[in-house]
Chain A
């Protein structure tokens, strides 16, 4: 069914709020889906990718399937968002990446005018043996935050499969972010997760990542790069368990703290096999003084130097 003029306008406005990124979603060979509130306002699919969307009261339920052996050459663009100042958007997502498939998904969540918006996501992702599924979630919020972001995701990474995910706030103030990943990894699989968030004002950031390397030679890297200033608070809970021979993992948490902000990191690393290995590294504190001095010796004042260091850390 063709979208109405109103839906076209809404989709255009949503994409415009993404700035330069929105302009990339063009061309017949690029799959995309735009959801405003609980309404599909734009969509385009490509062969090998099935997407079914059902409307629910406060959001949508999406079933996404990347068919066996399909290799999507270009990223799939998802855009979730709400243009009003208030409301709830609940995304229920069921993803299946079938055997030997490849898909890279760029999910942009945009709430440019948010004052009191809740963005909830409950996702289940199954990645079949030999498949690769990448999910890059980029958030664009308003200047004052005003968003509560609560994504909960359960992932199963099959034998020899790969799952890579990034969570990044690229514009605006975080508001309240409470995201949770729970991942099981089979033999020879690869898990790579990174979160990059800059909290300001009264932002509250909570990251909970749990991963279990259940199969032989499974590997995982969990990274959290957080910067908080003013009165923001960040809590990072990483838990990584290696339960099989040759399983290897690394947990890396870096948090820069300024002003009255507070950062906490609670890593749990667990090894249940004599031939498994997990490492952990955490650095929490002020900006590195040598980095700061180097940039100040190039003429940047302290604030500009700090911003540049944080920009690097947050990628």
Chain B
């Protein structure tokens, strides 16, 4: 049994079935990858697990430690240890880095803020008093966001394209953070289009058209990157009519 289980989860948005009868186990303390073409439903799945507004009207069950969490709000899920890092982290005008990284921290001391910044390779003396705004580059914001997640000591981390828009140095820090999460026994579910990132996972799911097409060891899914698709009945960018046809 996984720490996080989805049982027959489906979601329809704007008349379109975007998640289709998903039954998935995410094992405790593992790094899982979700791969698949654009529009496959990867981010939708992450948003649904997090319970973001617009992604809660599902059928099926989401279970954390065997307990149904469908009706929990985003913050309630977060307080139970689930969190999400976005592909493009939000900017917060005027909000200082120290305030941001400690927002969900278990230990809200300055030492914690310094420590988590160091863990993502940002010099606390240079960054603690800066704002999480447009003066930070995309890579810096990504690392600051990761620091805010580290301070939470979460149990389940959903990472939407952790390598998006960042340089090699930042990417290495994100890999370090992945190792950190694993060392602490956290479960990571990361969405990626990158073969490089996939190498850091232990288990992968291949998604297409809101369904899991395949799952297993990373090497098993690796072939997907050969031609950016796996043989299936779906077109790469399904349109609504096609989906309806497939699901009929």
Contact = CB atoms under 8 A, between A and B. Distances in A.
Interface size range of chain A in the complex:
20 to 34
A293 B145 CA distance: 13
Contacts of A305: 75, 103
Interface stretch (A40-48, A84-92, A145-153, A294-302): A294-302
Contacts of B91: 291
A291 B78 contact: no
Interface centre among B79, B93, B145 (most CB of A within 10 A): B93
Given A254-B93, A291-B90, 5 more contacts: A296-B74, A296-B75, A300-B103, A302-B75, A311-B94
A308 B89 contact: no
Contacts of B99: 308, 311-312
Given A293-B52, A299-B78, A312 B73 contact: no
Contacts of A28: none
Nearest to B158: A297
A69 interface: no
Interface in B73-120: 73-75, 78-79, 83-84, 86, 89-96, 99, 103-104
A4 B73 CA distance: 60
A315 B92 CA distance: 11
A225 interface: yes
23 contacts: A225-B93, A290-B86, A290-B90, A291-B90, A293-B52, A294-B89, A295-B104, A296-B73, A296-B74, A297-B50, A297-B74, A297-B83, A298-B152, A299-B79, A299-B83, A299-B152, A300-B103, A308-B103, A311-B95, A312-B96, A312-B99, A314-B94, A315-B94
Interface string A228-242: 000000000000000
Nearest to B152: A298
Interface centre among A288, A294, A305 (most CB of B within 10 A): A294
A93 interface: no
Contacts of B92: 291, 309, 312
B148 interface: yes
Given A295-B103, A298-B104, A289 B94 contact: no
Interface centre among B84, B103, B145 (most CB of A within 10 A): B103
Interface in B177-198: none
B94 A312 contact: yes
A296 B78 contact: yes
B53 interface: yes
Contacts of A313: 93-95
Nearest to B148: A298
A312 B94 CA distance: 4
B90 A298 contact: no
Contacts of A225: 93-94
Interface residues of B, number: 28
B94 A298 contact: no
Interface of A: 225, 254, 288-291, 293-302, 305, 308-309, 311-315
B153 to A, nearest CB: 11
A133 to B, nearest CB: 24
Nearest to B75: A296
Interface of B: 50, 52-53, 73-75, 78-79, 83-84, 86, 89-96, 99, 103-104, 131-132, 145, 148-149, 152
B244 to A, nearest CB: 29
A294 B96 CA distance: 15
Contact of A294 (B53, B86, B131): B86
Contacts of A300: 75, 78, 103-104
Contacts of A294: 86, 89-90, 145
Nearest to B81: A299
A298 B78 contact: yes
A312 B100 CA distance: 9
A287 to B, nearest CB: 11
Contacts of A315: 94
Contacts of A289: 53
A5 to B, nearest CB: 42
Given A294-B89, A294-B90, A297-B84, A308 B95 contact: yes
Nearest to A312: B95
Interface centre among A225, A293, A311 (most CB of B within 10 A): A293
Interface centre among B73, B78, B152 (most CB of A within 10 A): B78
Interface centre among A294, A297, A302 (most CB of B within 10 A): A297
B74 A293 contact: yes
A290 B86 CA distance: 9
Contacts of A297: 50, 74-75, 78, 83-84
Contacts of A290: 86, 90
Contact of B95 (A299, A301, A309): A309
Interface centre among B75, B149, B152 (most CB of A within 10 A): B75
Contact of B90 (A288, A302, A311): A288
A57 to B, nearest CB: 41
Contacts of A309: 92, 95
B182 to A, nearest CB: 20
